[in-house]
Amino acid sequence: MTKNSNEFIDFLRKETDSMSPNIKSQILNKMKTKISPPIKDIWPKFVISQLAACLATLSVCPQFGIGPLGGGHGLGHLFMSFGEAACAAFCGAFFLATGTAVAAVLLRKGERRELFQYRFRIIGAVGVTTFLVFMILGKTLQLPMLFNGVIPSISWLVAAMGSALLVLQLALPKSAKSIIQKN
C-alpha cells in the first residue's frame, strides 16, 4: 500500500470512531441503496426506457401490424425475403434489444447490476407482455400482419428475449459479473 492509501484508511478510522452508531447506520444504508438499489425502483425506469425506444423502432419496423410511420412494412419487406420466421426473429430482436440498450445506457451501474440479477424475469415479462399487446392490438384493430402463425410468433419471442439478454450481458461491467458469479 502506498502512503496516501494508509493515510486515507487512518482518516476513515478516525472519522468512523467518532461517529454515532445512528449516523454510521444511515450512511451504510445509503451506500447499500446506491450500490444495490431495490428492483422496485429500477423496474419503472427500465419499462419507460423500453417504451421510448420501442416507439422509435416502430417507426421503421412493424410489429404485428403496428408501425411504421407512414404505413407500409418498412424494414419488414427487406427481411421478409428470408422468410416469415427470419423476419419475425429480426423484428423481435431489433425491437426488444433496442429498448434494452437504451435502458442500459440510462441506468446507473448499480441499477444495471441489480437488473442483471433479475434479467430472466424482467426480460421474460417485458417480452411476453409486449408480444401479447401487439397480438391483441393487431387483431382488435384488424391491422395488416406482416407474418402469421406459430413458428414466426415463437421466433419473435425467442429472438426478442435472447437479444435483450445479450444486450444486458454486454452492458454489465466485467467487475460486476465476477461479483455476481461469486454470490
> For residue 165, which of 110, 89, 101 has the smallest C-alpha distance?
101
Task: Give tens-digit pLDDT for 66-111.
Answer: 655 555 556 656 666 678 888 889 888 988 999 999 998 998 888 8
> For residue 93, which of 118, 61, 117, 116 has the smallest C-alpha distance?
61
Q: Which residue has the higher pLDDT, 44 or 23?
A: 44
Q: What share of residues in the chain are helix, strand, coil (percent, to 5)?
A: 75, 0, 20
Mean pLDDT for all residues in the chain: 78
Task: Using DSSP, state whether 82 is helix, strand or coil.
Answer: coil
CA distance 42 to 33: 12
Give the pTM.
0.70
CA distance 13 to 24: 12
Q: Is the peptide bond before 68 cis (omega within 30 degrees of 0)?
A: yes
The answer to whether residue 65 scores a pLDDT higher than 60 is no
pLDDT reported for residue 154: 92
Task: Give tens-digit pLDDT for 1-19.
Answer: 556 567 667 666 665 556 6
Task: Using DSSP, state whether 20 is helix, strand or coil.
Answer: coil
